[in-house]
Amino acid sequence: MKVYFLGTGTSQGIPVIGSHHSVCLSNDFKDKRLRVSIWIHWDDFSFVVDCGPDFRQQMLAANCHDLDGILFTHEHADHTAGLDDIRPYNFRKGPLPIFAHERVLKSLKRRFDYIFETENRYPGAPSVAVNEIENNKPFAIGNKTAIPISVWHGDLQVFGFRIDDFAYLTDVKTIDESEIEKLKGVKVLVVNALREEPHATHFNLQEALDFIALVQPESAYLTHISHLLGFHEEVAKKLPKNVFLAYDNLEITV
Ligand SMILES: [Zn+2]
Residue-level pLDDT at 33: 98
Task: Give the range of the structural domain holding residue 51, as residue numbers without chain letter.
Answer: 2-253
| Start-to-end C-alpha separation, the chain | 5
Distance, in Å, from the CA atom of 217 to the CA atom of 93, rounded to the nearest integer, reads 36
153 beta partners:
156
Interval between CA 185 and ligand 1 midpoint (Å)? 26
Residue-level pLDDT at 235: 98
Interval between CA 20 and ligand 1 midpoint (Å)? 22
Distance, in Å, from the CA atom of 30 to the CA atom of 123, rounded to the nearest integer, reads 40
CB-based contact 194:229 (threshold 8 Å): yes
Interval between CA 171 and ligand 1 midpoint (Å)? 5
Interval between CA 75 and ligand 1 midpoint (Å)? 9
Determine how β-strand 243-245 pairs with β-strand 219-223: parallel
Interval between CA 12 and ligand 1 midpoint (Å)? 9
Interval between CA 224 and ligand 1 midpoint (Å)? 7
Interval between CA 42 and ligand 1 midpoint (Å)? 26
Residue-level pLDDT at 146: 98
Interval between CA 79 and ligand 1 midpoint (Å)? 6
Residue-level pLDDT at 154: 95
- Work out how many domains the chain is built from and give that number: 1
Distance, in Å, from the CA atom of 209 to the CA atom of 149, rounded to the nearest integer, reads 19
Residue-level pLDDT at 90: 97
CB-based contact 170:156 (threshold 8 Å): no
Interval between CA 120 and ligand 1 midpoint (Å)? 34
One-character DSSP codes across 119-172: SSPPTT---EEEEE--TT--EEETTEEEEEEEEEETTEEEEEEEETTEEEE-S-
Whichever domain contains 74, its CATH number is 3.60.15.10
Residue-level pLDDT at 23: 98
Determine how β-strand 69-71 pairs with β-strand 45-49: parallel
Distance, in Å, from the CA atom of 90 to the CA atom of 158, rounded to the nearest integer, reads 27
Query: What are the pLDDT tens digits along the chain (254 aa)?
Result: 999 999 999 999 999 999 999 999 999 999 999 999 999 999 999 999 999 999 999 999 999 999 999 999 999 999 999 999 999 999 999 999 999 999 999 999 999 999 999 999 999 999 999 999 999 999 999 999 999 999 999 999 999 999 999 999 999 999 999 999 999 999 999 999 999 999 999 999 999 999 999 999 999 999 999 999 999 999 999 999 999 999 999 999 99
Distance, in Å, from the CA atom of 65 to the CA atom of 67, rounded to the nearest integer, reads 7
Residue-level pLDDT at 80: 98
For residue 241, give the 3-state DSSP assignment: coil
Interval between CA 11 and ligand 1 midpoint (Å)? 5
Show the CA angle centred on residue 205, arms to residues 147 and 152, nearest 5°: 40
98 beta partners:
70, 130
CB-based contact 79:72 (threshold 8 Å): yes
Interval between CA 39 and ligand 1 midpoint (Å)? 16
CA dihedral 24, 26, 27, 29 (to 10 degrees): -70
Residue-level pLDDT at 205: 98
Interval between CA 145 and ligand 1 midpoint (Å)? 24
The full length of the chain comes to 254
